[in-house]
Amino acid sequence: MSLDKNMLSKLAVGDKHGEDSPYFEGWKAYDNNPFHPEHNPQGVIQMGLAENQLCSDLIKEWIKANPQASICTAEGIDGFSDIAVFQDYHGLKQFRQAIAAFMERARGGRVRFEEERVVMSGGATGANETLMFCLADRGDAFLVPTPYYAAFDRDLSWRTGVRIIPVECNSSNNFQVTRQALESAYLDAQETGIKIKGLILANPSNPLGTSLDRETLRTLMDFINDKQIHLVCDEIYAATVFAEPGFVSVAEMIQEMDHVNRDLIHIVYSLSKDMGLPGFRVGVVYSYNDAVVTCARRMSSFGLVSSQTQSFLAAMLSDQSFVDNFLKEVSKRVAKRHLMFTEGLKEMGVSCLRSNAGLFVLMDLRQMLKDQTFESEMALWRIIIDKVKINISPGSSFHCSEPGWFRVCFANMDEDTLQIALQRMKSFVLRDRENKNCNNKKRKSFQENLKLSFSSMTYDEHVRTPRLMSPHSPLVRT
């Protein structure tokens, strides 16, 4: 029996979640036919999920060496009663201390974070939404440079009613955001009566895989300070930076820019990407604004991190030797995997946007489009999903301003699977190239034959219509 939609809320019956977008549709294609080297070797390989599985062995080794860290082991059972009872939504003190210390180490020890400002949330998704509820009212807007994380539309807007105003960037300068682009988007919004409450940045960027240098950050912070609007900086890929320019946190910049109003600066962090623990749902809101910290903490009761998870992570992240080695290995292993994948693409003549961070690359397939339109991009994506059996994400799902760019994740699989994916992609690219060469030859041959045919024509002087010359014509013999 179907329920009358009038019985439900507009949110329940609406389509603003975005789960029908190509970004999520690709996941469904994988879920329906997942690749397995033995049980389903012809299945879809998942390269649309930015997940870090490169260092899980280090975490497993630590767990084996520290069984007392879990309340669900014989060695840690004595702590069960203390952890299983009700916990205040401020979170365990030792957990907040460990998270603050880890955030410092992930930023090279160049900044300090206060445990009192650490607010828990259910992953970065919950942290971003919490900040929207704290900083803006329904109908207010945030500027977001393109291309941006595909799920921002859901995370920032779906339940809050906050609007996203894309700030268009393009490949001519590697999609770097400029003060001019920000000013233009801000002015356009004002002229249409839209209230801009802030700017949202992902640094390092998803899907670009690039980090912002000091000069760019200084420009952006001057912009928000001049306008007196908020800056939300999503830094969940901080520890994945593997090449220059190194990672510079907004927390570093406010130490150098005394004139900036700290009440406008907010950081989102999580352990999903840097540590590869998305299933633990550990997100963090870190704000320099006391009122925001208070409000976010009150709201955190709707998305707490379990006390069992807090207790375990507090123990692991307090092991400084482990953390230092882990951060070193993350950067090293991401760099190795990035090189392996980009070199494999280069061998088949496919390039990527130059990147220095993240668990993905932005692959350039513009030369494979039938024409430079987003319709052609989607047609190519369909072929890659349905025929090549690889789930990658089209640039349009990230609001990229140019068709033909695709985000491809490389850290959520083992090397053997990555090589299979590269081989599939190589076969597809080479076949496409051969078909185009063949078509070009046919077109060239057709044009030459057409030219020859026209050169063999004469015209009737009276009706002026072409007729082929007889092979016995004296003109032909001449």
Give the residue numbers annotated as catalytic, written as ranges.
149, 234, 236, 273
| Radius of gyration of the chain from its Cα atoms, rounded to whole angstroms | 28
* C-alpha pair distances (Å), 371 with each of 1, 336, 365, 374: 46, 35, 11, 9
SS3 of residue 452 by DSSP: helix
Comparing CA positions, the residue from 236, 235, 157 lying closest to residue 197 is 157
Give the CB-side neighbour count of residue 197, counting CA atoms within 13 A. 18
DSSP 8-state class, residue 40: B
- Those residues whose C-beta lies under 8 Å from the C-beta of residue 440, and which sit 6 or more positions away, are none
Contact 123, 309 (CB under 8 A): no
Amino acid letter for position 343: E
Q: CB neighbours (10 Å) of residue 60?
A: 10
Strand order in the sheet with 141-145: 118-122, 282-287, 265-270, 230-234, 196-202, 141-145, 163-167
Q: Give the largest CA-CA distance in the chain.
A: 111
Could you give the CA distance from residue 330 to residue 339 in angstroms, rounded to a whole number? Answer: 14
Please calculate the CA angle 348-353-354 and round it to the nearest 5 degrees: 105
SS3 of residue 380 by DSSP: helix
Could you give the CA distance from residue 357 to residue 351 in angstroms, rounded to a whole number? Answer: 17
Comparing CA positions, the residue from 100, 127, 97 lying closest to residue 111 is 100
Could you give the CA distance from residue 389 to residue 475 in angstroms, rounded to a whole number? Answer: 60
Comparing CA positions, the residue from 47, 51, 58, 59 lying closest to residue 417 is 47
- Those residues whose C-beta lies under 8 Å from the C-beta of residue 274, and which sit 6 or more positions away, are 52, 106, 236, 237, 238, 239, 240, 327, 330
Q: How is 116-156 classified by DSSP, letter by letter?
A: GGEEEEEHHHHHHHHHHHHH--TT-EEEEESS--TTHIIII
